Structure formats: C-alpha cells, structure tokens
Amino acid sequence: MPHAKLDNKERFRVPRAVREALDLHAGDSVAYTVVDGELRLRKAIDPYAELGPVARAVEREFAEHPERFHPLETVAAEMGITQAEIDAVEPEPGLDE
C-alpha cells in the first residue's frame, strides 16, 4: 500500500498518482473525512463555481449580517404581493428552466 510521511509541520504531500486519479490541480480544494480510522479524500465541488464572485459576496454578507436578509414571505407582504400572484407568473424560457 502506498504511503506518505508527515513532515516536521505534520503535513503530508498527496502523491502524483492520487492527484491524477482525483483530477486535483494547484488551487483546487479537497473535501475529507475520517471513517473508521481511514482518511477519505476527494476533490471538493464548489457550488458557486459557475455563479462567480457575486454569489460568494452574498454568502459572505449573509454569514456576517443575516439580519439584513428577509424571507420571501416578508418581502412579498411588504410589497403587497400575494403567493397566488407569484404562482401565476409564467416562467421565462431559457431563464427558469
């Protein structure tokens, strides 16, 4: 079984064969967990990869100031919009698919 040795800072290098098998490249994130004494490692999937920096900024803002965000029901009530009116809106082709 292949192995890696911890360095003096208690880190180890992921061998090239493992990086290639997991399609890992410089800058990628990894997800890991320990199950029954074994380290399980996989390439992390970034849920915001296609949404860009705006989504990350919103996520950061929500984490820091959740009081600034309001549920749909609150906003709709403040605007005088009913759920029936929201439900009646036709989806836009290519946008709401």
- CB neighbour list of residue 48: distance below 8 Å, 6 or more residues apart: 55, 56, 59
Domain 1-45 adopts which CATH fold?
A: Pemi-like Protein 1; Chain: D (2.10.260)
Q: Which two tokens stand for residue 11?
A: 């880190």
Checking if the pLDDT of 95 tops 80, the result is no
CB 22 within 8 A of CB 39: no
Q: What is the pLDDT of residues 63-91, one digit of tens each?
A: 999 999 999 889 999 999 998 998 898 88
SS3 content of the chain, % helix, strand, coil (to 5): 35, 10, 50
The model's pTM: 0.47
pLDDT tens-digit readout, 32-55: 899 999 999 999 887 777 777 888
Domain coordinates in residue numbering, the chain: 1-45, 53-88
- The confidence score (pLDDT) of residue 70 equals 93
